[in-house]
Amino acid sequence: MGHGPGAEGACPAELNLDWREYDGNCYWFSTFRTSWVEARKACQTEYPGADLAAIHHLEENSFISETFSGKDAWIGLNDRDHEDQFSWCNGDPVDFLYWARGQPDDLWFDQDCAHIDYDSSTGQWDDEDCDDEKHFVCKVASVAA
């Protein structure tokens, strides 16, 4: 399967925000910061089927971190239900992880939500307190072009 812009479709016409298409999915980087739970609600409100981004390969992570660089951003990975068992909030299989060195560390036993860490130039992930306010990345499947 090839990865690349416009590989499989286009963003739904109803998405009037600055969504970007990549490899059969559309992505939106928030213009505001909020908690992980509120970020997820914002994605789901924006478009039916949208959710916090579930990332499945390095190329997808690179697309997100290069396209929306400069700010930490919540993604859908979390261990809110079962400590140390990270899962994607949309139910996708966890087939790719990209933790920064020493992460996840569950600092103060209160870090259950993952974000792309832009302090590292690699776009690797860090766990953080879900109540922290960060930008976030939404994802939804593109439609046939």
pLDDT in tens, 58-108: 999 999 998 887 789 999 999 998 888 999 999 999 999 999 988 998 766
In a domain? residue 12: no
In a domain? residue 15: no
CATH number at 24 reads 3.10.100.10
In a domain? residue 108: yes
Two tokens at 61? 């992570």
133 pLDDT band, cuts 50/70/90, is very high
21 pLDDT band, cuts 50/70/90, is very high
In a domain? residue 28: yes
- What gap in Å lies between CA 97 and CA 77, rounded to an integer? 9
pLDDT of residue 54: 98
pLDDT of residue 130: 95
Domain containing residue 26: 20-141
